Amino acid sequence: MADTAKWYVVHTYSGYENTVKATIEKTVENRHLENLIHEVSIPLETVTELTEKGPKTYERKVFPGYVLVKMVMSDESWYVIKNVRGVTGFVGSGTKPTPLTDEEVAQMGVEKHEVVVSYGVGDRVTIVDGTLSNFTGTVESIDIPGNKVRVIVTMLGRETPVELDLEQVELLDET
């Protein structure tokens, strides 16, 4: 059943995000709905503001007025979320909530996927996906949080830096 859980966007009154999140989590715990409602999230970003007294760091809501819920859509889960005080409804066309796509979830950074790379700076690699597929090059830099790798590829007799996703590159098997 956990395979069908998807992320949905719930619209709330502005300023009620934390209350809605807490209420949903408490309701899930009290009614034992952990199999239907898996996770509740309010995407935050860290902001550093320069003031007269020096830098001030705080967390700010990325999407004010919205809460993200990973759940299995059913009449019961829909009813629980819809009847939380402060919730105005689900985001979607008409009366049917629309789940977020995997790309949207990845862009929002809601689900953190641990990336393990088998190569390091200076290693020879093969590009396995994209327009430069089957090209080989040397890793110049790796940005794991940004999911990027910079590879120096030789094209037309010139060394050219190329920025790729971490998954587009594999360690060159030189056996």
How much is the pLDDT for 102? Answer: 82
Residue 133 has which token pair? 């597929």
Identify the domain containing residue 154 by its residue range. Answer: 124-171
The pTM assigned to this predicted structure is 0.61
Residues 129 and 103 in one domain: no
Rounded to whole angstroms, the Cα distance separating 156 from 79 reads 61
Q: Check pLDDT > 70 for residue 1.
A: no
Residues 102 and 130 in one domain: no
Residues 100 and 15 in one domain: yes
> How far is C-alpha 114 from the geometric centre of its chain's CA atoms?
11
CATH number for the domain spanning 20: value is 3.30.70.940
Q: Check pLDDT > 50 for residue 124.
A: yes
Structure confidence by residue, pLDDT tens digits, 54-81: 788 888 888 899 999 999 998 898 999 9
Residue 69 lies in a domain: yes
Q: How confident is residue 23, by pLDDT bands cut at 50, 70 and 90? A: very high
Number of domains the chain is built from: 2
Residues 103 and 157 in one domain: no
